[in-house]
């Protein structure tokens, strides 16, 4: 990831917001994790998730991801990386019932294997896979959740080529862990054309050509 000074990083971050807001290509090099927690919370974030602005931002991010892929269908070993929670899996039922995150309750929710998929993300991933893009799912869910996660993906009809999960005992930041997974994917010989996520920590760190962020004001992960 390019190192930016504060004076250059702030305009670059604003620039990336503007680009994403206009549903244009979002160069991954302009995406950084905000230094300050935006103060997102479940109550306000869930309200926002039922607004037209949320739906429009979500739709625009997916549409831009598809447009970018459409112009990169000739790349050998092309791939799309997608985050799971709040990008592919819709966990608003859990978030609404649990304003304060508790790992035990989250594990219980995951074990139910009933997170619905966002239709637009599911359709985009299916479209991309049908055009020769490998689909790699990258999540900070722990390895202990692999079985339930696969079952939930199967229930929602998601086809994919790899599922990267946080190893037992790993405490890396979201950004560090996900960056390492994307590096591994590229070291396998794939070119990550689009990286899709709901957190800046899903996208910062490089190893992708285009980064698209769907909205989430319920929580903020580094
Ligand atoms: Mg997520």
Q: For residue 214, what are its two tokens?
A: 């769907």
Q: For residue 172, what are its two tokens?
A: 């890396």
Q: Which helix (H) or strand (E) holds 34?
A: none
Domain CATH code at residue 201: 3.40.50.1000
Cα of 84 vs centre of ligand 1, distance in Å, is 6
Residue 51 belongs to some domain of the structure: yes
Distance separating alpha carbons of residues 52 and 91, to the nearest angstrom:
19
Cα of 212 vs centre of ligand 1, distance in Å, is 12
Q: Which residue has the higher pLDDT, 5 or 151?
A: 151
Distance separating alpha carbons of residues 53 and 57, to the nearest angstrom:
6
Cα of 15 vs centre of ligand 1, distance in Å, is 22
For the chain, how many structural domains are there in total?
Answer: 1
Q: Report yes or no on whether pTM surpasses 0.85.
A: yes
Helix (H, G, I), strand (E, B) or coil at 85: strand
Cα of 215 vs centre of ligand 1, distance in Å, is 10
Which structural domain range is residue 59 located in? 6-213
- 103-145 confidence digits (pLDDT tens): 999 999 999 999 999 999 999 999 999 999 999 999 999 999 9
State which residues have CB under 5 angstroms from ligand 1, the bound ion. 83, 85-87, 198
Residue 28 has a pLDDT of 86
Residue 25 has a pLDDT of 62
Looking at every residue in the chain, the average pLDDT score rounds to: 90
- 36-81 confidence digits (pLDDT tens): 888 899 999 999 999 999 999 999 999 999 999 999 999 999 999 9
User: What is the three-state SS of 149-194?
Assistant: HHHHHHHCCCCCCEEEEECCCCCCCHHHHHHHHHHHHHHCCCEEEE
Burial class (CB in 10 A: 0-12, 13-18, 19+), 194: buried
């Amino acid at each position: 990831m390019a190192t930016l000074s504060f004076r250059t990083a702030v305009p670059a971050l604003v620039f990336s917001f503007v680009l994403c807001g206009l549903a244009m290509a979002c160069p991954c090099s302009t995406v950084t994790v905000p230094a300050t927690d935006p103060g997102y919370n479940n109550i306000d974030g869930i309200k926002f998730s039922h607004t037209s602005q949320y739906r429009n931002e979500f739709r625009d991010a997916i549409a831009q991801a598809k447009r970018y892929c459409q112009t990169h269908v000739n790349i050998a070993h092309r791939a799309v990386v997608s985050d799971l929670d709040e990008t592919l899996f819709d966990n608003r039922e859990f978030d609404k019932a649990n304003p304060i995150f508790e790992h035990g309750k989250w594990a219980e929710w995951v074990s139910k294997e009933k997170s619905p998929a966002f239709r637009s993300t599911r359709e985009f991933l299916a479209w991309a896979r049908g055009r020769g893009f490998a689909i790699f799912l990258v999540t900070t869910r722990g390895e202990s959740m692999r079985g339930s996660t696969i079952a939930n993906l199967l229930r929602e009809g998601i086809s994919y080529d790899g599922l990267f999960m946080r190893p037992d005992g790993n405490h890396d930041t979201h950004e560090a862990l996900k960056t390492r997974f994307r590096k591994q994917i590229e070291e396998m010989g794939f070119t990550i054309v689009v990286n899709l996520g709901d957190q800046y920590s899903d996208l910062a760190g490089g190893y992708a050509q285009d980064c698209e962020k769907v909205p989430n004001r319920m929580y903020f992960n580094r």
